[in-house]
Amino acid sequence: MPSSKPVPNRRKANAFISPDKDRRFAAEDNPFEAMMSRFDDAARRLNLEPGLYKVLRAPDKQIIVSVPIMRDSGEIEVFTGIRVLHNTSRGPAKGGIRFDMAVSLDEVKALAAWMTWKCAVVNLPFGGAKGGVICDPTSMSMGELERLTRRYTSAIIDVLGPDSDVPAPDVNTNERVMAWIMDTYSMHKRHTVTAVVTGKPVAMGGSLGRREATGRGCLVVTRRALERKKMKVKGATVAVQGFGNVGSIAAQLMQKEGMKVVAVSDKTGGIYNPKGLDVEDCLKWVAEHKFLAGYPKGKPVSNEAILELPVDVLVPAALENVITSKNASKIKAKIICEGANGPTTAKADAILDAKGIYVIPDILANAGGVTVSYFEWVQDRGGYFWDEPTVNERLEKIMVNAFDEVAAMAVKHDVSMRIGAYMLAIDRVAAMHRMRGLYA
């Protein structure tokens, strides 16, 4: 007869226990554990002081708020909102806000930390933050979404501000949501404060080039990686998983650069043509049919299979945890450019390294978005706006410098580009803490 006694917890006493999910064992797809495993490796190689290790591991602030709103039906519903500021030693916290049922404290903490390292990798004067509301935005009217956004903004308004915490769009949020946040904040402050958010409409102080920035950054670092690997840019074959804003623009720009995009996919599946796809034609199809499904000029391929195609460059630009210990050995690409946040699990890293696959990590590869967000913040604060060629030129300079600095760190310490990126970022944040000292 089975025992009714509880199973003893066999984790080590100092093991991390998620504050919102008491996991029996850390799953491979736990975003906080994945981030921390890379952080621990980099910190050990840097001989980071134990005290600083504790400081950099812990978020500055973790905020959980109730977000009550009235639905169109007159019913009151209460949602949960989260905002995490991971580290603000280098400047205001920077990070997106997402509306999604999968939002959790674990996920938001991991993404906030990733933003700290991402901003430090490209040497921006920002720290990291992330936020979200647990909701299903597809089931909500525009009025309900506006009420949700404004109530959430008012609930966390004490931490928001151009000098403290600057949100941006993320999953299921957009320019309109940023406009609501900016307006709510401004109404409380009694004057217009455009620099409180980025990713706004251009007419409200948004930056030209912001929509294309993440995809353009992927192009810049991929081109640099091809040059470093002594591979030709023209004719290099590319597969892109994810045909949203990041993936579609990366595919577009890579094709214009002379690369051959042979496969693209969205949530309905993908299209593969070894002779090359016309990305502009794919975009026209999606504009008419919403999804890639049914596109006639290629062979259907699943989102799983697209990762395993024999290409020079693979761009996972959709979801996290798509390259795992289960499929990493099947990856045939020579270069992986991580357009999405966290597409590769920590357990998969060693497998890819052993295969000699050159991975451009997410905290470098997709940093083009936050870089142009920084440009937007600068322009708002200065009240002077740049033309798009200037934005793109300055973005390329920052991305190239960051790639070269990460590559140099990786070579110096004989580590992967991912660990090199974490080492560069942690070293910069730690250096700021050493200079500032500890307030007591």
Which domains are seen in the chain, by residue range? Answer: 31-36+58-201 (3.40.50.10860), 213-365 (3.40.50.720)
- Confidence at residue 435, expressed as pLDDT on a 0 to 100 scale: 97
Nearest Cα neighbor of 108 from 118, 95, 117 is 95
The average pLDDT across 324-350 equals 95
Percent of the chain with pLDDT over 70: 94
The terminus-to-terminus CA distance of the chain in angstroms comes to 57
DSSP 207: P
pLDDT value for 383: 96
pLDDT greater at residue 342 or residue 122: 122
Is the pLDDT at 397 greater than 90, yes or no? yes
Look up residue 61 and give its two tokens.
């602030």
Say whether 256 is catalytic: no
pLDDT band at 106 (very low <50, low <70, confident <90, very high): confident
CB atoms near residue 133 (< 10 Å): 26
- What mean pLDDT value characterizes the chain? 92
Residue 258 near residue 226, CB atoms below 8 Å: no
Poorest-pLDDT segment among 7-21, 48-62, 111-125, 397-411: 7-21
CA–CA separation, 115 and 124 (whole Å)? 11
> Is the pTM higher than 0.85?
yes
Starting at the earlier edge strand, list the strands of the sheet with 260-266: 299-301, 269-272, 260-266, 237-241, 313-316, 335-337, 358-360
Residue with tokens 């580290």: 87
Burial class for 324, CB neighbours closer than 10 Å (0-12, 13-18, 19+): middle
Q: If we measure between CA atoms, which residue out of 257, 236, 217 comes closest to residue 373?
A: 217
DSSP 8-state code for residue 138: G
Mean pLDDT calculated for residue range 250-274: 96
Predicted confidence at residue 20, as pLDDT, reads 45
Whether the pLDDT of residue 92 is over 80: the answer is yes
Per-residue pLDDT, 28: 79
Distance of CA 265 to the CA centre of its chain: 19
Which residue among the candidates 94, 109, 118, 130 is catalytic per the annotation? Answer: 130
Give the model confidence (pLDDT) of 266-278 as tens digits.
999 999 999 999 9
Contact between 132 and 170 (Cβ < 8 Å):
yes
The yes-or-no verdict on residue 50 having pLDDT over 70 is yes
